[in-house]
Chains A and B, each alone.
Chain A
């Protein structure tokens, strides 16, 4: 696996397919991205190919404007979804990227709840689109139909938040220069822990048509808030209403297309006014 990836990286640089490659290296127990431009760079020997994940896509977004020529990037299946969604939002130019599909071991796939990781022969071939894994089984509190119980569950989870901003900082889809979570009119700077539920819901509405379900937010959360479940619920709403799946659908997100007339599916009188109870 490591040798195959090293070979693919060197090949991409030698053949001139890519001017530079982003690889992960491990230093003092921490993963960090590193840019290599020469096939004989010694960093390639110490390339990290283990089970830990890193938001490489964020690094590529920063890097692309300052590099001329193509960049080769080793991607897991989730990384590919991120880059695809980011390209639709004009954050990254996919035509200038060479994606090196990197397989995940079964353990990683199981830990992520991913049912279609790249397999070993995916290296250096252009990966095709695939939906994220099937939904996780719901926590017990969310299986009930009682709204009060659901709300109590979420408030209980949000209560543990320490406002470390880890979920936002790790998220490759959080690319806005002006973040709503930094807006003092929305999120008070005085309250740490944050005001709930607004702090989490601001991110949830923004994730509804962006989240590619990589699960890194939940993995990094020190308070173990089930963020992935939250964003999956938001994703499901956009999927049901507009048939749009971030990272998978070919078209741009209909939710953010200003002025684009849309089929107002499910927007009939009763839904808007709430006077006819929704089934």
Chain B
């Protein structure tokens, strides 16, 4: 029991930003359908992925997250019309910026998950957790705390 707790401590932590209209409902569907996926992910619901500022992604890494997942409606399906175009553009900038500074680009991922895609949510969390495990614990975890 204690060993399992210790192992959980050392496992990677992932923060997922989910949009209210598609991906959060998708995650909910995965839950009520009792689909199994790794428990490493902490979900944060936002009204639209377009509201996620790159600053929030940076803050998440600064606070010690090993991976950040952003999930929203498919392109063309945004509840607000074009919010996810904004996300895609910002994601491009923040991912390349982190990579150019030497932060592993496997730690950040953007997925389109609709409200009907509980299975896709399950698959995304599973493969992303593996991907982040391969990248290891974040070098930024508490590095900045001086």
Q: Chain A: residues with CB nearer than 8 A to chain B?
A: 146-155, 159, 180, 183, 185-186, 191, 193, 195-198, 201-202, 204-205, 208-209, 233-234, 236-238, 240-242, 254-255, 258-262, 264, 266-267, 271-275, 278
Given contacts A259-B86, A274-B108, A274-B131, contact A205 B93 (CB under 8 A): yes
Given contacts A208-B97, A272-B111, contact A148 B58 (CB under 8 A): no
Q: Chain B: residues with CB nearer than 8 A to chain A?
A: 50, 53-55, 58-59, 61-62, 75, 81-83, 85-86, 88-97, 99-106, 108-111, 127-128, 131, 139-140, 143-146
Residues of chain A within 8 A of B140, CB atoms compared: 197
Q: Cα distance A150–B94 when bound, in Å?
A: 17
B101–A191 touching, CB < 8 Å:
no
Given contacts A150-B102, A208-B97, A274-B105, contact A261 B58 (CB under 8 A): no
B92–A258 touching, CB < 8 Å:
no
Chain A proximity of B19: nearest CB distance (Å): 15
A202–B103 touching, CB < 8 Å:
no
A258–B97 touching, CB < 8 Å:
no
The majority secondary structure among interface residues of chain B is: helix
Q: Cα distance A153–B103 when bound, in Å?
A: 12
Residues of chain B within 8 A of A260, CB atoms compared: 82, 85
A238–B93 touching, CB < 8 Å:
yes
18 contacts between A and B (CB under 8 A): A147-B99, A186-B59, A191-B145, A195-B62, A195-B146, A196-B143, A201-B58, A205-B97, A208-B97, A237-B100, A255-B89, A258-B50, A272-B109, A272-B111, A273-B111, A274-B106, A274-B109, A275-B127
Chain A proximity of B101: nearest CB distance (Å): 5
Residues of chain B within 8 A of A196, CB atoms compared: 143-144, 146
Additional A-B contact list (15), CB under 8 Å, known A151-B103, A198-B59, A259-B81: A148-B102, A151-B139, A153-B102, A159-B146, A191-B146, A198-B58, A205-B97, A264-B88, A267-B92, A273-B109, A273-B110, A273-B127, A273-B128, A274-B105, A274-B109
Chain B proximity of A233: nearest CB distance (Å): 5
Residues of chain A within 8 A of B139, CB atoms compared: 148, 151
Chain B proximity of A34: nearest CB distance (Å): 37
A237–B96 touching, CB < 8 Å:
yes
Q: Select which of B94, B103, B128 is within 8 A of A205 by beta carbon.
A: B94
Question: Which of A209, A240, A255 has most chain B Cβ within 10 Å?
Answer: A255
Residues of chain A within 8 A of B90, CB atoms compared: 255
Q: Cα distance A264–B90 when bound, in Å?
A: 11
**In the complex, which residue of chain B has the Cβ closest to the Cβ of A264?**
B88
Q: Cα distance A262–B94 when bound, in Å?
A: 17
Residues of chain B within 8 A of A259, CB atoms compared: 81-83, 85-86
Q: Cα distance A151–B106 when bound, in Å?
A: 15
**In the complex, which residue of chain B has the Cβ closest to the Cβ of A238?**
B93
Q: Cα distance A260–B82 when bound, in Å?
A: 7
B143–A155 touching, CB < 8 Å:
yes
Q: Cα distance A205–B95 when bound, in Å?
A: 10
Give the 5 A-B CB pairs with smallest separation, nearest first.
Answer: A150-B102, A151-B102, A259-B82, A147-B102, A198-B62
Residues of chain A within 8 A of B111, CB atoms compared: 272-273
**In the complex, which residue of chain B has the Cβ closest to the Cβ of A158?**
B144
Given contacts A148-B139, A202-B58, A274-B108, contact A241 B92 (CB under 8 A): yes
B94–A195 touching, CB < 8 Å:
no
**In the complex, which residue of chain A has the Cβ closest to the Cβ of B81?**
A259
B144–A261 touching, CB < 8 Å:
no
